[in-house]
Structure formats: C-alpha cells, structure tokens
C-alpha cells in the first residue's frame, strides 16, 4: 500500500469525509494583514491548515501559486511542507509532463525534495514520460484523465481508434501494473462512472466542486463507489476565501466542516 492510500484510509476514517483542501495562496484574495506581511504564502496556508486539519483527508498545494513568487515562493512552500501534519497525505499539484530524463528530475523534485505522497502528472508525452513517477513504490502518480476545465473536451473525450483519449490513458496506465491514480473533474459526472468501470480500484482526485460548479453528491457516490474505494474531492477557493478579513480561518473551517458533512450525508443516504 502506498503512503497516499495508507494515510488516506486513516484520515477518511477519522474525518468521516474525503475532503482534499487545495492550497492556492493568492495575495490578492488574502486578508490585507497577511498579504502585506512577511512570508504571506506560508503564513496564510499555515493558518488555513491549523484551522482545517480536523476536516482534511488530504492537502494539495498548487505549485503555480508558489512558483509565481520565484525563489521566495518556493522557500515558503518548502517551509510549509516541513510543518505539515505527518498523518495527512500531501498531493503536489504541478501537472508535470516531459521526456524521460526531464521527467525523472520532476519526479525527484516532487517526491524526494518536496516530500509529496502523490503528485499530479500529465500523460500527453506517453509511456516514457510517466515511467519515472512509478520508480518509488511508496509514491502515487495521479495522472490527468478528465480535467474540469471547459477545454478538456478538445482532446480528452475525442475518439482515437476504438477508444476515447481518456480511456486510452487508463489502458496505458494498466500496462505499468503499479500503483497509480487518476484526476477526473467533477464536471464530468456522466463519465466518472465509466472511469470507475475501467479503473475500479484506483484512487481518484476529483477537482471542480464548489466554484467550478461540479456536483458534490454524485462525485462522492460515483467516485468512491458508495464508500467502497478511495477518492478525494478537492476544494480550494470555496474554502480558502470565504472571508478576506480577520475571521478568514474561522470561515474556512466552517466551510470545510460543511463539505465534510455533505460528503458524509451523501454516503449515509445511499446506505439507507
């Protein structure tokens, strides 16, 4: 069992939910007192984590929000990750994808240097670009399959041969015969069931709930097969920016608690 699955099992049991909180620190949306102070990315995310750790099954720092601040942003990310609760899995969201030698360096960065339990990976370059992310049996590559942006239909659901592109991605990953997972957006509820048919046991990261309009209940029930298999529902902005004032941590915690409650209700409803 990978570190992601082991930790996720414990967190799901403890929190009664499958909430992944995305850490996307945007100084333009933070309280002014944080944004104008030292190390705003670190301080904002640290306080969010402290306020929501009782509800989070996982955390997902988005590299772009740190990298856009250059070396200072990366230093703040490294400090944040060093302080994260050990029992909560960390998904590094960078969507990396490149030729084998470069991919090996990306894998080393997200898994060894940053210490992620999982990382989002772009499969567009094919098998050799994915291989380095499978080298460590404790780590889990989460491969883009059906993303939540409107333009995903330009490529991912197009038919190539007898199968749609997202189906071919799953078929490719099957050949590795090693632990992995998928990224499937909540806006694709009608296709999520087919993904689960093709990959019934793999963990799925499901973004797109909340601000992006994906349906929470169907994502929970289909994504987890009514609580039988691992999945996490990612929410970022709808938790992080409930308030831009001094009560932002309390507001974030209330919203995280609400999401966990809705997730538990979706599964309890099915059991009844």
Categorise residue 141: left if φ over 0, alpha if ψ from -120 to 50, beta otherwise.
Answer: beta
Dihedral through CA 245, CA 250, CA 255, CA 259, nearest 10?
Answer: 160
Nearest 10 degrees: Cα torsion 195, 200, 202, 203? 80
Q: Which of 121, 102, 271 is nearest to 205 (CA)?
A: 121
Say if residues 41 and 65 touch (Cβ distance below 8 Å).
Answer: yes
Cβ atoms of 145 and 184 within 8 Å: the answer is yes
Q: Pick the catalytic residue from 13, 39, 60, 95.
A: 95
Is 178 among the catalytic positions?
Answer: no
Q: Which residues are catalytic?
A: 95
């Amino acid at each position: 069992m990978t570190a992601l699955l082991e930790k996720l099992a414990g967190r799901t049991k403890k929190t009664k939910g499958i909430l992944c909180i995305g850490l996307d620190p945007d100084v333009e949306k933070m309280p002014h007192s944080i944004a104008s102070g030292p190390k705003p990315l670190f301080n904002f995310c640290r306080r969010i984590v402290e306020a929501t750790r009782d509800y989070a099954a996982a955390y997902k720092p988005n590299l772009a929000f740190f990298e856009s601040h250059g070396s200072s942003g990366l230093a703040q990310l490294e400090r944040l990750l060093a302080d994260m609760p050990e029992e909560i899995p960390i998904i590094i969201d960078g969507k990396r994808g490149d030729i084998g030698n470069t991919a090996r360096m990306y894998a080393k960065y997200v898994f060894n240097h940053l210490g992620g339990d999982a990382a989002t990976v772009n499969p567009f370059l094919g098998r050799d670009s994915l291989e380095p992310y499978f080298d460590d049996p404790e780590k889990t590559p989460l491969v883009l399959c059906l993303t939540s942006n409107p333009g995903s239909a330009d490529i991912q659901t197009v038919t190539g041969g007898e199968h749609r592109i997202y189906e071919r991605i799953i078929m490719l990953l099957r050949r590795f015969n090693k632990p992995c997972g998928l990224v499937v957006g909540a806006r694709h509820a009608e296709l999520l069931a087919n993904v689960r048919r093709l990959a019934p046991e793999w963990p799925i990261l499901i973004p797109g709930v909340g601000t992006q309009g994906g349906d929470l209940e169907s994502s929970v029930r289909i994504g987890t097969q009514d609580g039988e298999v691992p999945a996490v529902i990612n929410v970022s902005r709808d938790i992080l920016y409930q308030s831009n004032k001094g009560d932002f941590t309390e507001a974030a915690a209330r919203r995280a608690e609400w999401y966990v409650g809705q997730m538990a209700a979706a599964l309890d409803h099915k059991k009844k």
